[in-house]
Amino acid sequence: MGASKCIQSEMLHCRSGHNPVTSVPNLKKPLLSNSRAEVVKLSRKCSATEASNRAKSLIVAASPPTEDVLVSTDPLTKKDLVDYLASGCKPKENWRIGTEHEKFGFQTDSLRPIRYDQIAELLNGIAERFDWERIMEGDNIIGLKQGKQSISLEPGGQFELSGAPLETLHQTCAEVNSHLYQVKAVTEEMGVGFLGIGFQPKWGLKDIPIMPKGRYEIMRNYMPKVGTLGLDMMFRTCTVQVNLDFSSEADMIRKFRAGLALQPIATALFANSPFTEGKPNGYLSMRSQIWTDTDNNRAGMLPFVFDDSFGFEEYVNYALDVPMYFVYRQKKYIDCAGMSFRDFMAGKLPCLPGELPNLNDWENHLTTIFPEVRLKRYLEMRGADGGPWRRLCALPALWVGLLYDEISLQNVLDMTADWTAEERQMLRNKVPKSGLKTAFRDGLLKHVAQDVLKLAKEGLERRGFKEVGFLNEVTEVVRTGVTPAERLLDLYHGKWGESVDPVFEELLY
C-alpha cells in the first residue's frame, strides 16, 4: 500500500505508466526469458550513456504482477537485485516528478463511504467519457490507465491517482486539476463526493467496504498478526506522496538521508487527520501515528540509511529480510505472508516449493515495504496526509525544491548532519501528536521548518520554472506553526459545534 501506503500496482498495469523511472513497454509476452544471459547485467555506475543503454535493453515491467512470467532457469543473485535498483539512475535532465494521492469517496446524502458498485460505476463512467483503459481483476474493474497515468483502489475504496512522470510542478498541478474535474463530472450525477483528509473522520472499520482485490485479502488476514493498527492503515487512511529520481548511488544516498531526516517536518506541515469516529483522536496526524504500530518489520525511519556502508546493496539486504505477502502466478495471488524472500531465492519457499523468483517477484516485494522513504528505482517521500487540492501541489513543490537543487540538498544535509538517530526517531514519534510545536534542541520544530521552507523556495527559484507559488499553501503553516489539523480542531470546537460532519464540505474536492 502506498503511493502511498498500499501495494500500488494493479494487475496488468505497468508502473512505468506513472512514475519517474525509465519507461518500458507493457509487454504481453513473457517478460523474462529462460536464459539469464539475456537479462542485461547492469553496473552500479550510472553514467548518462549507461542509463540510455538500460532504457533500450532492460525488459522488466515496472509494476508487476504481470501475466505469464516465465520462471528463470538460473537463480537470481543478490547482484541482480542490486542492479535492478541501480537501473533507476538517470541523468539530471531526465529527472521527473511523480505525484500520487488518495481520497475518500462518500455518499453526499448520508456521508457513508461509497460502495464497490458505486466505485465500479465511477470507474466505468470515467473510462467512457474520458477515454481511459479499464484494468480488471477477474470480472471486477479495479482501476484505469491512460498514457502514463493510472487510477487505482486502496483496500477500503480510497480512490488514487498515480500521476505521470512530469517535468514541472505546473504540469503536476494541471494533472491534479484535470483528474479532479473528471472525477467530479461523473460523481455529481451519482450523489457522491470526495474528501481530502488523512484519516476517515466519521466511520468505523465495520462501515468500510472491502475492495475485491486478491492481494488485499492476504494483507487483511496478515496485518492483525504483526501490529494493532494495520487494518486501520489499510481501510481508513489516505496519503499524498511524491516520487523522485536520482543520478547515481551517491545521489540516491544523499536524497534518501535528506528525505528521512526531514520527513517528520513534512508530516507536520501536512498533518490533516485529527478525527476518529466523529471525535478528536488526540493526534494531528492519526495517519502517521497508525504507521507506528502497523508492521514495524516493514515501516519506520531506517537508521541504517545513515551508516557509512549504506548503498543499493544494503537496501537489498534490508528488503530481503522484510517478510513477504504474496507471489503472483497464473492470475492468482498465492499467500506467502511472513515467508522469506531469501528462502524464495534458494527455491525453499513453503508456498511454492522448488520454484525460483524472477525480477517481477522482487519488484512486487519492494512494493510491500512501507518506510517513511522508500527506495525502488526512484525514491518515494511517504510522510504526508492526504488533503485538499492545493496541498496536493504543495507537497511535490516542497520536495522538488529541497532535493532536485544541489545547493538546497547540500544545505539540508549540512543542517541535519549532526542529528542523532535518537533525535530523528523522537521527531517521528512526537510529530503526529504535537506537529510543529514539537520541542527540538533549543527550540521548536517550527523553527527548523522555517529554514527548510526557505531552502525549498530557493531551490525552486534556481530551477527557473516559476514554481515557488506552489509553496504558498504551507508558507502560512510555517509562519504560524498551526497545522491544517489544528485549524480543523478549532472549527470543530467552535463553528461546527463539536460535529465532524461539516468536514465533508470543508475538505470536499
**pLDDT (tens digit per residue) in 68-85:** 444 555 789 999 999 999
- Label residue 147 left, alpha or beta by phi (over 0 means left) and psi (-120 to 50 means alpha): left
CA dist 303 and 318 (Å) reads 11
Domain carrying residue 350: 78-98+214-507
SS (H, E, C) 130-154: HCCEEEEECCEEEEEEECCEEEEEC
Judge whether 160 lies within some domain: no
> Among candidates 92, 216, 100, which has minimal Cα distance to 148?
100
pLDDT at 73: 57
In a domain, residue 445? The reply is yes
The closest alpha carbon to 264, from 445, 1, 481, belongs to 445
The answer to whether residues 123 and 26 touch, using CB atoms and an 8 Å cutoff, is: no
**Domain-located, residue 486:** yes
State the pLDDT at residue 75.
87
As a whole number of angstroms, the distance between CA 39 and CA 120 comes to 39
> Is residue 208 included in any domain, yes or no?
no
Strands 239-244 and 373-375: unpaired
195 part of a folded domain:
no
Number of domains in the chain: 1
Residues in the chain with pLDDT < 50? 1-64, 66-70
In degrees and rounded to multiples of 5, residue 330 shows phi and psi of: 50, 50
Q: Is residue 448 part of a domain?
A: yes
Distance CA 46, CA 424 (A): 30
pLDDT in tens, 337-357: 999 999 999 999 999 999 999
Residue 206 pLDDT: 98
In a domain, 496, yes or no: yes
The CATH number linked to 314 is 3.30.590.20
Look at residue 137 and tell me if it is in a domain. no
Global pTM value: 0.87
Torsion of Cα atoms, 450 then 454 then 456 then 458, to 10°: 180
Note the pLDDT of residue 42: 38
**Which pLDDT does position 58 carry in this prediction?**
32
Q: How many CA atoms lie within 13 A of 245 on its CB side?
A: 23
pLDDT of amino acid 378: 98
